[in-house]
Amino acid sequence: MRVQIEYPDWVIQQIDWERCYRAPEERMRFVIGLARENVLHRTGGPFGAAVFESQTGRLVSVGVNLVVSQQNAMLHAEIVALMMAQHRLRSFTLNTDPKIQYELVTSCEPCAMCLGAIFASKVRRVVWGASREDAIKIGFDEGPVFPESYEYLKARGIEFIGNICCAEARAVLDLYIQHGGIIYV
Amino acid sequence: MRVQIEYPDWVIQQIDWERCYRAPEERMRFVIGLARENVLHRTGGPFGAAVFESQTGRLVSVGVNLVVSQQNAMLHAEIVALMMAQHRLRSFTLNTDPKIQYELVTSCEPCAMCLGAIFASKVRRVVWGASREDAIKIGFDEGPVFPESYEYLKARGIEFIGNICCAEARAVLDLYIQHGGIIYV
């Protein structure tokens, strides 16, 4: 048995791996674009994510939700982006080089599993668009996340920034419902 | 880019996929054995897991910790077992057939990420050996898990049973330290 995690073809065709995304909004619009394309191509849920080098904005990896298309409940956009980043960097931690800080930018506030993966991967900053409440509103269950969860992670050096371009991020959640997307949790 | 998740060779050679494991202790000793072999073969952390059909004890999938060997912080034993189970069953949910209940048996209490993955995968019962405190004692950080996390998951129909064969499970954690194993979180 072997599980293969691969990007849909449109991701490969669309990504410019050399580009740097400097402003937080530019990074966010990029992952919201991934989420939107994922809905339009019907390759998964309405979520996109990417790992960047914080200082330079260099793109390290991207992720889109692949739960339904790859029959794997763990393949949230954040998990895909973090796994791909570690694969590319050949490291099980994103905190090896003190000079480079990595950040995860995601179109929606992470669920309980993804918050745990953020901690395990040692990414240092997390930026999201739509909120947990926005995801719940369209029927997703984000799992056991509490204010104490954030306190725990912040105490271990992870920075969280929410509500960047949130109206644009929410619009992709609505688009998914309009397209009859499956609510898989 | 493509992430491949594969069992170490010794796993393939060792598993009898036709065998049923009827008693809870038999299931637990099997996953503790996986954890021990993973330490002895130096293929990862001291953790093993498996998905069984609860009623029959039929083995669906196994998992061992592959964080260091596959350079992927998300590859805890539970995540590997759940991904492999969904791959084998070709389903993103382990709750499709009302007649079959799946359970995850793991040699150690799940971390925050794995609890989230348990919720996402819709496995209905979780059984563990060593406790969260045992893992913390040897240096692992289990992430943001609180009593409310379990309340949240129980309210959604997931059953938890801890401390099965816990002395045997703890012995594998100690073995890992004796072997100079890496504490990767």
Token pair for B71 = 């350079």
A148 touches A114 (CB < 8 A): no
- Cα distance from A91 to chain B (closest Cα, Å)? 5
**Residue A110's closest CA among A149, A138, A148?**
A149
Kindly report the length of chain A. 185
Cα A45 from Cα B19, distance rounded (Å): 37
User: Closest partner residue to A113 among B5, B72, B120, by Cβ?
Assistant: B120
Q: Which residues pair with A51 in a beta bridge?
A: A61, A104
Residue-by-residue pLDDT tens, chain B, 185 positions? 899 999 999 999 989 998 999 999 999 999 999 999 999 999 999 999 999 999 999 999 999 999 999 999 999 999 999 999 999 999 999 998 889 999 999 999 999 999 999 999 999 999 999 999 999 999 999 999 999 999 999 999 999 999 999 999 999 999 999 999 888 87
Mean per-residue pLDDT over chain A, rounded:
96
Q: Which residues pair with A62 in a beta bridge?
A: A50
* Residue numbers of A between 17 and 56 with CB closer than 8 Å to B: none
Q: Which residues pair with B160 in a beta bridge?
A: B126
| Burial class (CB within 10 angstroms; exposed 0-12, middle 13-18, buried 19+) of B130 | buried
Token pair for B19 = 């065998």
Token pair for A45 = 């849920």
DSSP 8-class letter at A52: E
pTM of this prediction?
A: 0.97
Q: Which residues pair with B127 in a beta bridge?
A: B105, B161
Token pair for B185 = 């979180």
A132 touches A142 (CB < 8 A): yes
Q: Each residue of A50-109: pLDDT tens digit?
A: 999 999 999 999 999 999 999 999 999 999 999 999 999 999 999 988 899 999 999 999
User: Closest partner residue to B143 among A5, A84, A116, by Cβ?
Assistant: A116
- Cα distance from B168 to chain A (closest Cα, Å)? 26
Cα B36 from Cα B175, distance rounded (Å): 8
Kindly report the length of chain B. 185
Q: For position A160, what pLDDT does the model report? A: 98
